[in-house]
């Protein structure tokens, strides 16, 4: 039909590039979806020194101007690094009504985010703490990031409690990339302390790359930017079930709030 339809911005992780298959599937379910590249694509830097909040604001404004898009607010969903960018957009940009974090964190990870009159620094990390499996040669990044409970890192936190958006957090208990379950629990508790209702679901046996259903589990792959084979985690059956459930939850969440 002619619409108008809910508008979504879709963000993938620090591997960069333009990833469109999830956006295409969401479009087939009735959402006008903009798959947004922000690094390692065409003229975008492979490893940017900073990310500009204004770049993401431009994408929101572009989407809101489309005739097919409902004027009730925009949704944003992100995976991994894209998840914390989605949360930052929901916190700092007007017009974001709902945000989904998949295997993400509540702090700004790896690349400083520059806004209007402020810079959110990157959460401290040390690549010297990455572990290599002697059996498989795969890299485990789960201990690279500094302790998120250390007050010395709190200036990197995204102040989500300022946002008026609704939030859905999804994570796998077998995430080998980083401790997304702990990060989700931390931000959910923080929001609940501010009287906010938050949706949160964690999945036993699910890894980092929670994708749309029926896509095969990717337990390990080469990271485009790092150039290393990374262990993402996940058990076949449990991960498949998690992807089915997460996909239903994501669509229901956006239909409810947009």
The residues carrying an active-site annotation are 80, 175, 208
Query: For residues 156 and 192, is the Cβ–Cβ distance under 8 A?
Result: no
- In 3D space, the residue among 196, 191, 182, 170 whose CA is nearest the CA of residue 250 turns out to be 170
Query: For residues 180 and 208, is the Cβ–Cβ distance under 8 A?
Result: yes
Query: For residues 9 and 37, is the Cβ–Cβ distance under 8 A?
Result: no
Please provide the DSSP assignment of 3-52 as one string. Answer: --EEEEEEE--TT-S---HHHHHHHHTT-EEEE---SSBTTB-SS-S-EE
> Nearest 5 degrees, angle CA 197-CA 202-CA 207?
145
Q: How far apart are CA 236 and CA 49, in angstroms?
A: 37
Q: How far apart are CA 27 and CA 34, in angstroms?
A: 9
Query: For residues 225 and 192, is the Cβ–Cβ distance under 8 A?
Result: no
The helix or strand, by DSSP H or E, that contains position 201, with its residue range, turns out to be strand 199-203
- Dmax over CA atoms of the chain, in Å, equals 56
């Amino acid at each position: 039909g002619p619409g108008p339809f809910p508008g979504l911005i879709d963000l993938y992780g620090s591997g960069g590039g333009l990833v469109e298959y999830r956006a295409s599937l969401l479009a087939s379910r009735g959402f006008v979806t903009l798959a947004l590249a922000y690094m390692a694509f065409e003229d975008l830097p492979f490893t940017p020194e900073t990310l500009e909040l204004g770049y993401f604001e431009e994408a929101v404004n572009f989407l809101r101007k489309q005739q097919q898009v409902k004027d009730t607010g925009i949704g944003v969903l992100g995976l991994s690094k894209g998840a914390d960018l989605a949360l930052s957009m929901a916190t700092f940009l007007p017009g974001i009504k709902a945000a989904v974090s998949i295997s993400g964190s509540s702090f700004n990870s790896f690349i400083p985010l520059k806004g209007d009159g402020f810079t959110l620094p990157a959460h401290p990390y040390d690549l010297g703490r990455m572990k290599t499996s002697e059996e498989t040669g795969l890299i485990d990044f789960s201990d690279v990031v500094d302790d998120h409970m250390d007050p010395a890192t709190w200036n990197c936190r995204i102040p989500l409690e300022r946002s008026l958006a609704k939030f859905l957090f999804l994570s796998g208990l077998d995430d080998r990339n980083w401790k997304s379950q702990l990060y989700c629990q931390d931000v959910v508790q923080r929001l609940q302390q501010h009287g906010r209702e938050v949706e949160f679901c964690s999945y036993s046996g699910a890894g980092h790359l929670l994708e749309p259903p029926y896509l095969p589990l990717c337990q390990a792959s080469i990271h485009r930017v790092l150039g290393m084979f990374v262990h993402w985690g996940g058990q076949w059956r449990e991960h498949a079930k998690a992807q089915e459930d997460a996909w239903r939850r994501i669509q229901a969440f956006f239909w409810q709030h947009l």
